[in-house]
Structure 1
Amino acid sequence: MRVLIILFWLLVAIASAPLLALSGVALYLTPALPDVDTLRDVKLQTPLRIYSADHKLIAEYGEMRRLPISFEQVPQGFIDAILAAEDDNFLNHHGVDPMSLLRATSELLTTGQIQTGGSTITMQVAKNYFLTSDRVFSRKLNEILLALQIERNLSKREIFELYVNKIYLGNRAYGIEAAAHVYYGKPISELPLAQLAMIAGLPKAPSAYNPVANPERAKIRRDWILQRMLYLGSIDQAAHDEAVAAPITARNHGANPELEAPYVAEMARLEMIERFGTEAYTDGYYVYTSVDSRLQTLANQALRGGLITYDQRHGYRGPEARHPDASAQQLPELLKPYRSVGGLRPAIVSEVDSDSAKIMLGNGDSGTIAWEAMRWARPYLSANSMGPNPRQPADILQPGDVIRVQRLEEDGQYKLAQVPKAQSALVVLSPQDGSIQALTGGFSFLQSNYNRVTQARRQPGSSFKPFLYSAALDHGYTPASLTNDAPLVFNDGSQNDEWRPSNSSGDFLGPIRLREAFYRSRNLVSIRLMQDIGVDEALTYMERFGFSREELPRNLSASLGTPELTPLQIATGYAVIASGGHAVKPWLIERIENSEQKVIDFARPAVTPQALADQQRRIDAYVGLTPGQTPPEAELAPEVIDPRTAYQMTSMLKDVITRGTGSRARTMQRSDIGGKTGTTNEQKDGWFAGFNSDYVATVWVGFDQPSTLGRREYGSTTALPIWVQFMSDALKDKPEHSQPQPDGLVTTRVDPMTGRSARPGTPGAFLEVFKEEDVPPPTSELEAGGYSSDGGITPLELF
């Protein structure tokens, strides 16, 4: 009996030893384990996403692609598939499945290698959120202990939701929703059973079972999961057979931007980094910009089309590379280093016929360029000259030439093209609140990420003159005031430093009304105006349009547009005129939402009186999302110039289009648009800035390294066509919208010879709009002794 008792306790000791050992290990490890309650507030690393105002995805930034979803959003088919693949006993165990652990242990003992870890979904949650992936026993013990704690603190639904949002599934996709978008371009709720099973097969080995990189192995894994689902009763035979027969359709869908606006995205990204640091990339912010997707698309098309037209006007610079001895099999390989730029696709010439050329594209497709689609290609010699007209395709192309082609929308054929050397910028603002409606900073962000809208400082030429003329209208001049378009000479006593400014046409018109001098863009009148107002006084006035005094040269040349300014600054200045005299400031980010898509900040721009009510409603709505805050009042943009001056200036800018250098815009057949061309010395920069009461748009064209655009190229031939194309489409089907005439203006008939009030019967008399205090008297009254306004003589003649 004594021996039996000893044997009994010996057996108890042997049986208890592992339990005691495990208990000891648990007691030792437990204090160092993290608090599983933190899983309730876990913050998953999610990328920064930038959208247009109408919710079109522009860009996504961050190393991890993740789109967290709730348990309720997970389709039942995927739940069944992942349980079949990873843990079919998930709903029954308490965090650890002893049979799975025994199976893993048996595999280790028989093979000497770890085949499977025996991990449940709960244990994988513990590992993914708290532990490393090192295959060591201490980690496995910690994993088991954490799994038991997780099961005590969280529901099965919560555990499953944590799992499907955290797991890595290849191609930068973290979580099942991101994987669905990466591999199939759809949310997981829209995927059929076969694709759900494919994604369910990825957690085991995302690289080995990647359906893009390893479609055959991925299919084997998918079909095994489908067989397991059939065995477990999750699906019937018909559903199994249909899913097994489904082809592998997965491909890398990237970030799937819905709107091409890379310069906008970069501006928003930089602002987010400035505000939130590197956490902007990981905290899942949703950034909604003020950009309108329709206008942005139109801006891209107008800018690229205008640059291509300008570029082809100056001839063909030849192929990007030549491979005359390449075989047909080598052609696709030769195109691999080349990427599409601004919609211009790389191609290689495979054959040249008498009336066409055959090409091959990078994807192996072939096409044809007809003679009519290449006959523009006279050889480029310089900005001012081209070679002879080609007579046949062989004069332009040879087999092996690497070229660019443009797909023609009408018939799907191709046109010979080339990436323009010149660059351009286009920015569109709302004059009511300053919001950026569209922005493109160059021909292609891939070609250059230099944002010419905000970074390129160039002389605006005559497009700067509205700011000087506004100063003149606020210093006693009227649109009918007579000025003298006559030669001027400035020197400091040295003949070498003599300055003889001239008009672009080289002629002089003599006495001319201010309105006509403006729409004819007479440089000598501008100089005289600044001279009469005073350089310092004129520059001080120009600061009202948002310019810094340091940016404006303190000399008479500023009257001709010599300050170096960005297109965005010019657009901002024009917005003062378009808004009726209010200084609205440009802004881009409309609102920022956190990872739960709750608004955490939004734009509060100062707006015009016309937009004040809408802005207040917007503020009330957003602040209402944050309980406890009192909605702030909408801010009115300051009035920086007399509304009457803005109205007169708008009227004169409209004349630029109806009678002056902007006459190409008459094709729009609208009476609510005004604007001004600008061309700098040696035709290095071409500008057009214009507006109606809906949009202010500014276009610049030039070379990044200043060089002539060509002796016959001006703002009216380079920038204006882009502006017209954009505004024609932007305003299509929109009613005309001009600023209302403010109080204090009077319309009077004017004598065209004197610029003064016309007497009855005066031939050629026309109507002009004046401020009440500036209405000129008839000639007879002036001859009797002149007149004054506010105690000072109103300047009517400047000679």
Structure 2
Amino acid sequence: YFTDEIRRELSASLGDEELFTGGLTIRATVDPDLQTVAARALRDGLEKYDRELGVYRGPAAQIDPAGFDPSDEASWRAALAGASVPRDIDGWHPAVILEIGESSARIGIEGVEEDEDGHFLSFSDAKWARLRGENGRLREAQGADDMWDVGDVVQVRAITADGAFERWSYRQVPAIQGGFMAMDTMTGRVLAMQGGFSYQSSVFNRATQALRQPGSSFKPFVYAAALDNGYSPATIVVDAPIEVATGAGIWRPTNSSDKFYGPAPIRTGLEQSRNLMTVRIAQDVGMDVVAEYAERFNVYKDMPELLSYSLGAGETTLYEMVAAYAMFANGGLRVEPTLVDRVQDRYGRTIYRHDRRECENCTADRLSAAAQPFLRSNAERIMDPITAYQITSMLQGAVSRGTSRAAVGSLGLNLAGKTGTTNDAKDVWYVGYSPRIAAGCYMGYDNPRPLGKSAFGGTLCAPIFAEFIKVALAGQGPVTFPVPPGGRFISIDRHSGQRLPDGATGANVQVEYIKDGQETVVGGYGQTVDGGWKIGADVPLYDGVPAQNIERVQVRGQSRALPKNPSLGSISSGGLY
């Protein structure tokens, strides 16, 4: 996937003739070790989902039994070599069914020598894969002869225990697909890219070519627009029902949990992926401003000013999303992702170089006469560095208290990240970062369809990110993001946004970094946002509000009360609900 994407990009910029006949030397940005980790992590995640579905999709290929002799090794090896099956999956081997017994099948395995007794694939190992009957219903296979026929080509993997071979295990290429990408947040160098389960199975690169809805992973750009336009991390936003008249009827967005939580600081809205708070923020800031931010970060080229886009309804690529998150990580500087460091022609002349910075004081004839080298950054600033730090702090909260707590927060690396899950879980995402590495994962069917009720970005993609990042950051402790000048730290109550004395401690205390001159004290100086929708009077903000003053709302024909003490609520994945 990585090299094919390089070919695609250079073919477009240099032309096929120069690319293939120019004797070029191309220096790629890939880190081979991280590429191996990324490919393995994505494949493991896709295969895990597929095995949990428990559906058998038939053999990888079929060989006419009349075309080979099962007892003649040379015969079946020649037939198997001609089978069109993927051979680029680490640890997997194509195998042909030679003979079927009562509880197992004798197999011939490509690249593995025959032993005296032969190799066998136990039916009990493949029993998890249910057969689909003519009526479309799934049923358990009754035996090896019910699942396989002689001549079927399958994939197998050796299972070992303490380094010793134990058995051959059945494997199948999943129907679900996905992509993974990791890049350096300062230089844009793409360190790893995997565009699917197997390149030989499908060359379509889902990291760069698949246009999918990012769901809640888009929300940080809405919050960034708000923070750059008068909001602070302690701004109170009301989580209450919303109705929007559209040409297609009334749009009633809801939270993933189908609950309403009352007023809360915007930190809570991003950490817990609250859809209604996000829509109110987008309405208050203006979708024209949100669209400008999305385009500034290259998430979209020309984003429609529709409220549903604040919840990630538009389509973009994993490549663009990871690059956009990298700009949060580096403090708000534009960075262009690249797969190529340098291209030289056959004479050694550089015809392309990604890093355009000039090194001052690097031209002395002798090292002893050279001054200290100095590299001047030419990166464009696209966001206030304090806003970038605030978004990062909120996304660190999303990792430690939100939808990726179990998979990523448990690593204890102080990372920032956000899940994304769209309507009916057709697309699931996770994008996260440290100060120097941003990485992201996407999973879904190529022809979008629901992944199931238990499918979320935090359960499917976050573990893939965690598997990669713990190797990429091996040997490092918790990361620290640099604090930009021009602000100060204050303490607030995590639930109400109320100002607390400096140095306050406790589970509800949240230390926020705010811009100089920005008032964030709730009560008298605070800011409460309802997005322009009428929410009624006496909506409680803190503890101690009398029960009789609790606002009641009608939702789907039922009367519901907004809680008098807004809590974190249940963890939700957000999305387009």
**Fold shared, TM-score > 0.5 on shorter chain:** yes
**Correspondence for 2:6:** 267
The whole-number CA distance in structure 1 between the counterparts of 2:400 and 2:505 is: 24
Deviation at 1:424, TM superposition (A): 1.1
Higher RCO structure, 1 or 2 (CA under 8 Å, sep 6+): 2
Q: CA deviation at 1:468?
A: 0.6
Quote the Cα distance in structure 2 between the aligned partners of 1:557 and 1:488: 12
2: distance between equivalents of 1:602 and 1:354? 63
Q: What secondary structure is seen at the aligned counterpart in 2 of 1:471?
A: helix
Mapped to 2, the partners of 1:325 and 1:276 lie a distance apart of 47
Residue number in structure 1 paired with 2:254: 502
Cα gap change, 1:699 to 1:380, in 2 (>3 Å): farther
Q: From the superposition, tell whether residues 491 and 457 of structure 1 become closer, same or farther in structure 2 (CA, over 3 Å).
A: same
Alignment partner, residue 568 of structure 2: none
* Separation (CA, whole Å) in 2 of partners of 1:332 and 1:745: 70
- In 2, distance between residues paired with 1:272 and 1:323? 38
Residues 258-316 of structure 1: CA distance to partner in whole angstroms, max 9, x if unpaired? xxxx4334424641563254133233211001111111111111122221112212122
Q: Secondary structure at the match of 2:435?
A: coil
Matched residue, 1:306: 45
1:615-764 matched pairs, under 5 angstroms: 620=362, 634-666=376-408, 669-758=411-500
Taking structure 1 as reference, are residues 381 and 725 closer, same or farther at Cα in structure 2, changes over 3 Å only?
farther
Match of residue 360, structure 1, among 78, 100, 108: 108
Structure 1, 413-422 or 425-434: larger mean CA deviation: 413-422
Kept in 1: contact 2:360–2:375 (CA 8 A):
no
Question: How far apart, in 2, do the equivalents of 1:689 and 1:619 lie?
Answer: 39
Give a deviation string over 1:617-643, Cα, whole Å, max 9, x none. Answer: 59958999xxxxxx9964421111111
The superposition leaves residues 743-766 of structure 1 with CA deviations (integer Å, 9 ceiling, x where unpaired) of: 233222223453120269998650
Q: Aligned AA for 2:483?
A: Q
The answer to whether 1:584 aligns with 2:335 is yes
For structure 2, the 5+ residue unaligned runs are 367-372, 536-577
Q: Give % identity.
A: 32
Of the three residues 96, 106, 111, the one matched with 1:348 is: 96
Deviations 1:557-602 (A, max 9, x none): 1110012111111011101101111111112221123335x24245
Q: State the SS of the aligned residue for 2:207.
A: coil
Give, in angstroms, the shift of residue 451 of structure 1: 1.9
What is the distance in 2 between the residues matched to 1:386 and 1:767? 52
Q: Note closer, same or farther for the CA distance 1:486–1:723 as it changes in structure 2 (3 Å cut).
A: same
1:542 equivalenced with 2:294 (yes/no): yes
User: Residue 30 of structure 2 aligns with which residue?
Assistant: 291
By how many angstroms is 1:649 displaced?
A: 0.8
The answer as to 2:223 corresponding to 1:472 is no
Which amino acid counterpart does residue 173 of structure 2 have in structure 1? V
Shift of 1:773: 2.6
Encode CA deviations 1:521-572: one digit per residue, 9 max, x unaligned.
111111111011111122123333124451x121101110012111111011
Q: TM-score scaled by structure 2?
A: 0.79
- The superposition leaves residues 14-63 of structure 1 with CA deviations (integer Å, 9 ceiling, x where unpaired) of xxxxxxxxxxxxxxxxxxxxxxxxxxxxxxxxxxxxxxxxxxxxxxxxxx
Query: 1:435 corresponds to which letter in structure 2?
Result: R
Closer, same or farther in 2 for the Cα pair 1:776/1:342, shift >3 Å?
same
Checking the alignment, whether the CA contact within 8 Å between 1:686 and 1:715 is kept in structure 2 is yes
After superposition, residues 195-214 of structure 1 pair within 5 angstroms as none
Find the counterpart in structure 2 of residue 595 from structure 1. 346
Q: Contact 2:239/2:264 (CA < 8 Å) preserved in 1?
A: yes
Number of the residue aligned with 2:269: 517
Q: Secondary structure at the match of 2:500?
A: coil
**Contact 1:758 1:778 (C-alpha < 8 Å) held by counterparts:** no
More helix per residue: 1
Mapped partners of 1:583, 1:439: distance in 2: 21
SS of alignment partner, residue 454 of structure 1: coil
- How far apart, CA to CA, are the structure 2 residues paired with 1:477 and 1:297? 42
Aligned-partner Cα distance in 1 for 2:209–2:353:
23
Does residue 403 (structure 1) correspond to residue 122 (structure 2)? The answer is no
CA contact under 8 A between 2:30 and 2:192: conserved in structure 1? yes
Partners of 1:280 and 1:622 in 2: how far apart? 35
Q: Secondary structure at the match of 1:678?
A: strand
Q: Aligned pairs, how many? A: 507
Distance, in Å, in 2 between the alignment partners of 1:618 and 1:714 is 49
**Whose Rg is larger?**
1
Higher strand share goes to which structure? Answer: 2
Q: Which residue of 1 aligns with 2:552?
A: none
Report the alpha carbon displacement of residue 505 of structure 1 after superposing the two structures with TM.
2.1
The C-alpha deviation readout for 1:153-200, integer Å capped at 9, x for no partner, is xxxxxxxxxxxxxxxxxxxxxxxxxxxxxxxxxxxxxxxxxxxxxxxx
Aligned to 2:201: 447
Verify: 1:766 aligned to 2:509, yes or no. Answer: yes
When residues 579 and 416 of structure 1 are mapped into structure 2, their CA distance, relative to the original with a 3 A threshold, is same
CA contact (8 A) 1:546 1:583 kept: no
Deviation at residue 349 of structure 1 after TM alignment = 2.0
Q: Which amino acid aligns with 1:743?
A: P
Give the Cα–Cα distance (whole angstroms) in 1 for the partners of residues 61 and 85 of structure 2: 14
What CA distance in whole angstroms lies between the structure 2 residues aligned with 1:667 and 1:539? 31
Q: Tell me how far apart the structure 2 counterparts of residues 708 and 381 of structure 1 sit (CA, whole Å).
A: 21
Structure 2 CA distance, aligned partners of 1:621 and 1:717? 53
1:338 to 59, 84, 87: 84
Q: Take 1:618 and 1:312, find their aligned partners in 2: how far apart are those partners?
A: 56
1:464 CA drift (Å): 0.6
**Aligned equivalents of 2:101, 2:363: Cα separation in 1:** 65
Checking the alignment, whether the CA contact within 8 Å between 2:407 and 2:466 is kept in structure 1 is yes
Secondary structure class of the residue paired with 1:711: coil
Change (3 A) 1:666 1:715: closer
Alignment partner of 1:421 out of 167, 175, 183: 175
| TM-superposed deviation, 1:718 | 2.4
In 1, Cα distance between equivalents of 2:184 and 2:208 = 17
Shift of 1:391: 7.3
